[in-house]
Structure 1
């Protein structure tokens, strides 16, 4: 049965800005069992997808300052569960190795993210895994598992063209670095890639998709794309990237998108209310008219940081940057309390993430 076209979960217009979420690993270390820690990680992943977050950073504040023993157990578990949940179900067996940290992950509710397409759904993009790369009739092509009854096929450049383009990309990447918005230099077996596919589900014989091929195997024609393309073209979230930051310096140094964050927001009960920022920044709306209701200046890379049970003060106290300041609010452009007049003495990290992202949805254009 041919997949049905999926038309939901599409934004009104594209945008190139990104929003990153950083969470302290101590929130997981505080869990009494692995099952509870895994459940907490699942709640963080669900929040990231619901609010279209582009990057999730795990700040490892569960190790002592100056530790060289690698990431803490809490940080490692959080990273693994976040990566496991972000991976489309049909690719997990191949891409996510079995590990004790994932023992309870199978019981978590699915993210149901836009890039987690069902077998009977179709979309202009799809995540695939390179199963095989072939050379035939002077042409090179790759067959990819896309979770359907037939593979996708990507025709690659001929040898001479490939070498020339590879040299151009090498020169560009040497200065710019790698980025999710850049096409992979080549396809190799076992690689996960984002594909652009036809608007309607239709298979063709392989020999029609690749000049020089002789096989009549049914394939879906596709071309290489990037994880940022759905966001940039249609405003649609397409999963999140995951990285580990062993210190605050590493957290702020560079985003997964190749450049620095130009908007940083810390969250704390000691911060100022979001409402107090309304109208302080002169900005333009989508039509180019002055907007007096803006909260933040225009940004390209936004970062929102959440502490663990003891707040960002605990993370700073265990970080080399504590020699710079004892006030974590001084590390951010904005230090916000997104739930003023709270009824409970404490707000858990997973609750703070949901409350804050809901409050920041309009200001950050999530």
Structure 2
């Protein structure tokens, strides 16, 4: 999940506000106090809907070999660190060879047993999702950006037929050439507007006609809430409405 700057939003909410709130929401509940403590930006974080992001692998916390996020609370001189990973107490674990850890750093812990505790730090990406920050151009120019879609009420209305064409394009099928030069990679990047400004205003372009765009950064402008019946769809609503159909499988 990449947050890109919007000059109007920065003036209203200060730089980094949205990123901070999203990072907090993506942090496992058992780590939030240690990671965030008390911050003005999080004054109303209690009203955020619980994401229940999958912060560990396995069907339950007791499953053998499950991966969990942890935070280093203390660094020892003997090549060991104390890690808070949501167990009853922080655990002392050896640092793998070639891995450097510092106090406050997040690590991934593989728990093989809770009673007695058997765990180790592993060099693997934690479960859940990461929140990053980059300019819109940088996000769209990533090597793994794939098909770039602008979510907007001014875009082409998403239909069953069009959705099938998009899936075909992502998989490199017959309709690929009509949609994107990055077809077949399976990668997809979707850009959303801000709560009070849509993408046309943010990128400084006129609203597109019939799904076309004069902004060559996007392969497609797409309206995933056709006949919405309201002038504005909130960003958080647009995220659900867009990612749900685009993640459908055959």
TM-score above 0.5: yes
Tell me if 1:202 matches 2:202.
no
- Aligned ranges 1:38-187 → 2 under 5 Å: 56-63=1-8, 73-115=13-55, 121-123=61-63, 124-136=66-78, 140-157=79-96, 162=97, 165=98, 185-187=99-101
Q: Which ranges in structure 2 are unaligned for 5 or more consecutive residues?
A: 206-212
2:201 counterpart residue number: 314
2:149 to 252, 261, 265: 265
1:232 counterpart residue number: none
Q: 1:158-209 deviations in whole A, cap 9, x for unaligned?
A: xxxx4xx4xxxxxxxxxxxxxxxxxxx31222211111221x4332xxxxxx
How large is the RMSD of aligned CA atoms in angstroms?
Answer: 3.4
1:210 counterpart residue number: none
Q: 1:15-68 deviations in whole A, cap 9, x for unaligned?
A: xxxxxxxxxxxxxxxxxxxxxxxxxxxxxxxxxxxxxxxxx222222349xxxx
1:28 counterpart residue number: none
Partners of 1:147 and 1:361 lie apart in 2 by 31
Partners of 1:91 and 1:282 lie apart in 2 by 40
CA distance 1:328–1:142, shift in 2 (3 Å): farther
2:231 counterpart residue number: 345
Richer in helix (by share): 1
Pick 1 or 2: higher relative contact order, CA cutoff 8 A, min separation 6.
1
Q: Which ranges in structure 1 are unaligned for 5 or more consecutive residues?
A: 1-55, 65-69, 166-184, 204-218, 229-237, 285-289, 319-326
Q: 1:219-259 deviations in whole A, cap 9, x for unaligned?
A: 4322313225xxxxxxxxx22222233x43233344xxxx4
Q: 1:85-132 deviations in whole A, cap 9, x for unaligned?
A: 111122122211422111111233322222179xx9334011111123
Partners of 1:329 and 1:249 lie apart in 2 by 11
CA distance 1:133–1:249, shift in 2 (3 Å): same
- Aligned ranges 1:239-250 → 2 under 5 Å: 239-245=128-134, 247-250=135-138
Instruction: Give the TM-score of the pair, scaled to structure 1.
Output: 0.54
Instruction: Give the TM-score of the pair, scaled to structure 2.
Output: 0.76
* Number of residue-to-residue matches in the alignment: 232
- Aligned ranges 1:24-39 → 2 under 5 Å: none
